[in-house]
Amino acid sequence: MKTNPSGLLILFASAVLFLITCKSPVNNQVQRVADNSWIEELTIAQLQAGYKEGKFSVTDVVKTYLDRIKAIDKNGPVLNSVIEINPDAIQIAGELDKELASGKSRGSLHGVPVILKDNIDTHDRMPTTAGATALNSSYPVVDSYVARKLREAGAVIIGKANLSEWANFRGMMSSSGWSGVGGQTKNPYILDRNPCGSSAGSGVAVSANLCMMAIGTETNGSIVCPSNNNGVVGLKPTVGLISRSGIIPISFTQDTPGPMGRTVEDVAITLGALTGIDSSDSKTLASEGKYLTDYTKFLKKDGLNGKRIGLVKKSMGFSDKVDTLMNRTIAFLKANGATIVDIEFPKVDKYEDASFEVMLYEFKDGLNKYFAGLPANASVKSLKDLITFNKSDTVELRYFDQKILEMAEKKGDISSPEYKKALATMLKATREDGIDKVMNSNKLDAIMAPTGSPAWKTDLILGDHFVGGSSSLAAISGYPAITIPMGFINDLPVGVTFYGRAWNEPQLLEIAYGYEQGTKHRKAPKYIVTD
């Protein structure tokens, strides 16, 4: 590396202070001050400025992140957030350096190291496994749309992130962040706490500064929950804003990839690089005339001024400590020009049951289509094959069952009346009679709720212990949501979620950025070991 970036010496001092004051440093691998602390909490804007000023190269940056993965993820606290390293990352970085030297930049993410959740296809020397041993040697024949767009924008895909296996749609009980391939991912704030999922590794990797940005996927809570537990910003876009082609599916109706980063600005930059129409994903056709390639113009420090935000009162009350943080958040929003309106959603029964029914049908249909596109030598070629494979595997059923896989296999096809009825029920309840109705009647710009509770202790015997959570309405409707840190409870981060109408990302980014810039709750993790 040529020089340490100017203005980042404070990070060095902070890291030294950490070594002195941390409750329980894990081991010498975490004490990496002299080697790579300069890169901690670096933003995309700072990175691009450093490239432009010649303070460091893409190769320097990529090597530093890979060194951190080795020190922290593999040999130090053993976070298990990264399931695979791209063996060509340094070579790709060198090519990007040559382009910069010749005056060429591919785009907004030129030289930005990114980690993808390992259910997102990459056509390279990394398999795409969904965390399942059945796909341990599955190498996709083409890039996913997301991977292609990232490469076109200049990003360096440095690795794949561990996840809750099959994006947590396998058994009736599970531990978020556990997969047969990657083992259990740990929360970087307190190591025996859970990272949530299913984008567990994505949340942990970006929080622990093992990459600059991560991409997760969500069907219901799988971006916002790990963002909450790991103290980062997570955006679940409107379904159709970013293509799902080349992503191992659960639900055609609810699935979406989305960016996870340490700042709202980084998330907005990355979002703009991923949008567009994809003929391979019909959901993206609805984004014509609605998607943007630059969302940074909505990053306004006074973005809260004049906003009407609905507060879902029933989303509170599960934790006095979370309520305290929410009340502080509400006070800040009001002090900065927002109007807070208490709201209640109409009582609509069974829309979550209808969503689960839809997911079972769509999972079987989508997964069988995905398997059909794998190379001829793939270990499994159908959901039925997968169920059989798991029964004979020594790892897959060690902790948890596969009842959801078995339930999905028993379903018919998506032309069945039962599927169509469930789909209509859930969409009407969450859209026309849900978010749209409440926002229209109260003239709202967004709705807010606590994202969830502080992280619970990881438990491979009894599984997850979820408390709170506000993802379902935005997830089932297919509407956008963004979560950002709103404070800490006993060294564990907690987030607040803002969600709204379809294609409402600009409004949500304005609100999130205004809140973030006035509060700055994000803090890097300390890898605490409990006694």
Please check the confidence at residue 387 and state whether its pLDDT lies above 70.
yes
Give me the pLDDT at residue 22, please: 37
Q: What is the pLDDT of residues 285-317, one digit of tens each?
A: 999 999 999 999 999 999 999 999 999 989 999
- Give a yes or no: residue 352 inside a domain: yes
The rounded percent of the chain whose pLDDT value lies above 90 is: 91
Q: Whose CA is closest to 211, among 276, 136, 270?
A: 270
User: How many residues comprise the chain?
Assistant: 531
Average pLDDT, the chain: 93
- Give a yes or no: residue 232 inside a domain: yes
Alpha carbons 371 and 259: distance in angstroms, whole number: 26
Angle subtended at Cα 250 by Cα 191 and Cα 352, rounded to the nearest 5 degrees: 85
Alpha carbons 407 and 15: distance in angstroms, whole number: 49
Distances (CA, A) of 383 to 144, 371, 413: 21, 8, 13
Alpha carbons 432 and 426: distance in angstroms, whole number: 10
- Give a yes or no: residue 373 inside a domain: yes
Mean pLDDT lowest for which of 58-72, 149-163, 204-218, 345-359? 345-359
Alpha carbons 262 and 66: distance in angstroms, whole number: 18
Q: Does residue 222 carry a catalytic annotation?
A: yes
Q: Which residues contact 44 (CB under 8 A, 6 or more apart)?
A: 108, 109, 112, 212, 213, 265, 266, 269, 270
Q: What is the pLDDT of residues 329-354, one digit of tens each?
A: 999 999 999 999 999 998 877 899 99
Give me the pLDDT at residue 29, please: 39
- Give a yes or no: residue 336 inside a domain: yes
Give me the pLDDT at residue 376, please: 87
- Give a yes or no: residue 161 inside a domain: yes
Distances (CA, A) of 437 to 294, 346, 473: 29, 9, 13
CB 195 within 8 A of CB 229: yes
The tokens describing 240, both together, are 């159709």
In this structure, the number of other CB atoms found within 10 A of the CB of residue 513 comes to 26
Whole domain around residue 213: which residue ranges?
Answer: 57-496+509-519
Please tell me which residue in 179, 222, 245, 319 is annotated as part of the active site.
222
In this prediction, residues 497-510 reach a mean pLDDT of 98
DSSP E strand stretches across 313-352: 339-343
Please check the confidence at residue 79 and state whether its pLDDT lies above 50.
yes
- Give a yes or no: residue 236 inside a domain: yes
Distances (CA, A) of 334 to 306, 330, 400, 484, 515: 10, 6, 46, 18, 11
482 pLDDT band, cuts 50/70/90, is very high
Give me the pLDDT at residue 400, please: 96
- Give a yes or no: residue 220 inside a domain: yes
Please check the confidence at residue 104 and state whether its pLDDT lies above 80.
yes
Alpha carbons 235 and 503: distance in angstroms, whole number: 12
16 pLDDT band, cuts 50/70/90, is very low
H/E stretch holding 528: none
Residue 74 backbone dihedrals phi, psi, to 5 degrees = -105, -40
Q: Does residue 198 carry a catalytic annotation?
A: yes
Give me the pLDDT at residue 350, please: 86
The total number of structural domains that make up the chain? 1
CATH number for the domain harbouring residue 406:
3.90.1300.10
- Give a yes or no: residue 430 inside a domain: yes
Residue 158 backbone dihedrals phi, psi, to 5 degrees = -95, -10
In this prediction, residues 274-289 reach a mean pLDDT of 98
CB 127 within 8 A of CB 139: yes
Please tell me which residue in 55, 117, 160, 526 is annotated as part of the active site.
117
Please tell me which residue in 57, 108, 198, 202 is annotated as part of the active site.
198
Please check the confidence at residue 490 and state whether its pLDDT lies above 80.
yes
SS (HEC) of 434-445: HHHHHHHHHCCC
